Structure 1
């Protein structure tokens, strides 16, 4: 097997031939991007990132038979990673939000104190719906396009755009005392 085999070929080899080397190649191919995504979500907490990367690939391996090749393997894998983080966040197991990276909000606030802004932003995020919060984080914090966020959230594109727009508008209202928000 060559390193240049497509993801689809490696998935097929893993499933049909129980080829562990094929899955190992998939892990090697995608682990840096998965790790980077999770590092941003976990404020570079290496232990949390290591655990989540391991859990992402374990879940991917265990549910590989449910992968539909209509989507790219990478998109499916990143959705698993995202869902793990979203799950942990919902359960409040860890504080995953890197507030500095929410460009559309924090960059344009007139900062009186970074810690005060963080506190206010956390409170504001808790006041918007879960779907809006996830959409805002994906698009404004993680840099996903609306289309990529729609695929990751398994929602129609228009719904994600609406969640981002409404979430941003609510955050603007909740953070109005910080100044103009983009």
Structure 2
């Protein structure tokens, strides 16, 4: 199995496969559709593989791969070629079997995350799910570290507000 050492001095193409689960998870957040997310992961790995020679100057494979994915996603949005799926009226997918209360909490969290602006949601999920440092996120998204901290702070606060609203909302 490929090691996940982010700071290796020479490129190891097999190392990309070690990041596959995290890439898939982030792609699912960006695209909200399993097939589109898989296409984005494939495009990311293809781009990374074809430009492996550039990786040596970067040093951190995780940041490099997430940057490629983010840029491919943004490019698709700009071109307007990204197909979106209306999730209203569809039950959210839950990756694990959960008890009813846990499922309801996951549904409320998903709704609250989807209500956040995309910029805040991306930063929040990169910190919470992938444990990326602010500097890595800044490099991945091509924004200053201060912007990362600001988006994270606003995203967390807005998420708290949305979740407390979900809890207090009367049951229908």
TM-score (norm 1): 0.58
CA contact (8 A) 1:131 1:163 kept: yes
Which residue of 38, 48, 51 corresponds with 2:23? 38
Structure 1 consecutive aligned stretches of length 4 or more whose deviation exceeds 6 Å: 45-50, 85-90, 97-100
Alignment pair present for 1:127 and 2:109: no
Q: 1:138 corresponds to which residue?
A: 126
Structure 1, unaligned runs of 5 or more: 8-25, 101-110
Q: 2:106 corresponds to which residue?
A: 118
Q: Distance in 2 between matches of 1:145 and 1:59?
A: 24
CA contact (8 A) 1:136 1:164 kept: yes
Say which one has the larger Rg.
1
* RMSD between superposed Cα atoms in Å: 4.1
1:146 Cα shift? 1.4
Change (3 A) 1:63 1:80: same
Q: 2:3 corresponds to which residue?
A: none
CA contact (8 A) 2:112 2:159 kept: yes
Q: Distance in 2 between matches of 1:114 and 1:86?
A: 33
Q: Distance in 2 between matches of 1:78 and 1:84?
A: 10
Structure 2, unaligned runs of 5 or more: 1-7
TM-score (norm 2): 0.61
Alignment pair present for 1:27 and 2:31: no
